[in-house]
Amino acid sequence: MADTLQPWVDDYLDYLAHQRRLSAHTINNYRRDLKQICDYCQRNEIDTWASLNAKGLRQFTAFLHRKGLSSRSIQRMLSAIRSFFQYLIKMELVDNNPAKAVQAPKAEKRLPSTLDVDQMNALLDHTTPDTFVATRDRAIMELFYSSGLRLAELASLDLRDIDFGDHLVHVTGKGNKDRVCPVGSKAIKALQDWLDKRDQTGFFDQPAVFITQQGRRLGVRSIQKRLSFWGKKQGISDHVHPHRLRHAFASHMLESSGDLRAVQELLGHSDISTTQIYTHVDFQHLAKVYDSAHPRAKKRSD
């Protein structure tokens, strides 16, 4: 039975290698994924690719899910099967692509880890701004936590983007959408200290806010490494990276205010459901906000 299925898989992999010129690593991934569907067909006495329908594929994905395979892995496998069936249609072996009608089980929405207020205070207050690098890094971390910027947003900041008078920063986020974020007083002070230190180096023509000691714009990878360095130096067990500082900003703002809509605007999320996933406030706090705010949620006295 497998002899009627496997030759077409081999032909497809050969096509990927010689016509599409995909990497050996990618082809091995396809080979592994398509082997699983071949094995499934063999166990279920499906002897031709034309006999595999959407119902059979749904049973296959359910089988994988029960085995503990992640939703992302199942989705990747379905993508491989989808591409394979497009090839079979091109070869006129099948008339339709059953994988187009099948979706992977929804993944659980995992909350990103965050830093609590004490950890943030330890990270920021104990980063002594006594050198060029330390002063710059302190300003970077203060700005991440103060304004909830994305890594790419912070790395691309120019001097003209910061309004010291009104304590604002202008950023261009995903989809080239502009937004204005408030900057806290401690972040403003850290930025001013950094620019004073930076001016001493004489790099007046560099428009970037954050630069290296050679006067070049500081890249995203370097920013990640610097935050990791300070996290380890302050003895924070979990890895410290820009996403965690942005998440800490969002979490602490939402825990204090309960205003999901405002936090959505500050983060630059186009969909509020993204903010709901991104932040984590315990349900009791949300329920308390709801009970106190909704006109038809307040409990009546008997």
Say which residues have a Cβ less than 8 Å from residue 61's Cβ, sequence separation at least 6: 74, 78, 102, 104, 105
Side-chain-side CA neighbours of residue 77 (13 Å)? 24
Say how far apart CA 18 and CA 151 lie, in whole Å: 39
Would you call 278 a catalytic residue per the annotation?
yes
Would you call 110 a catalytic residue per the annotation?
no
Say how far apart CA 182 and CA 195 lie, in whole Å: 19
Of residues 216, 19, 80, the one with CA closest to residue 136:
216
Dihedral sign from CA coordinates of 245, 177, 189, 184: negative
Residue 208's alpha-carbon distances to 30, 158, 162, 216, 244, in angstroms, are 43, 4, 11, 8, 23
Question: Would you tell me how many other CB atoms lie within 10 Å of the CB of residue 63?
Answer: 15
Would you call 269 a catalytic residue per the annotation?
yes
Alpha helices in 130-282 (DSSP H): 132-147, 151-155, 185-199, 220-233, 242-257, 260-267, 272-278
Would you call 40 a catalytic residue per the annotation?
no
Say how far apart CA 219 and CA 211 lie, in whole Å: 8
Q: Which is the catalytic residue, given 174, 221, 232, 298? A: 174
Would you call 21 a catalytic residue per the annotation?
no
Q: Which is the catalytic residue, given 138, 150, 244, 252? A: 150
Q: Which is the catalytic residue, given 58, 76, 243, 280? A: 243
Residue 102's alpha-carbon distances to 79, 81, 185, in angstroms, are 10, 11, 52
Q: Which is the catalytic residue, given 244, 246, 247, 252? A: 246
Say how far apart CA 265 and CA 286 lie, in whole Å: 19
Would you call 241 a catalytic residue per the annotation?
no
Residues serving a catalytic function are 150, 174, 243, 246, 269, 278
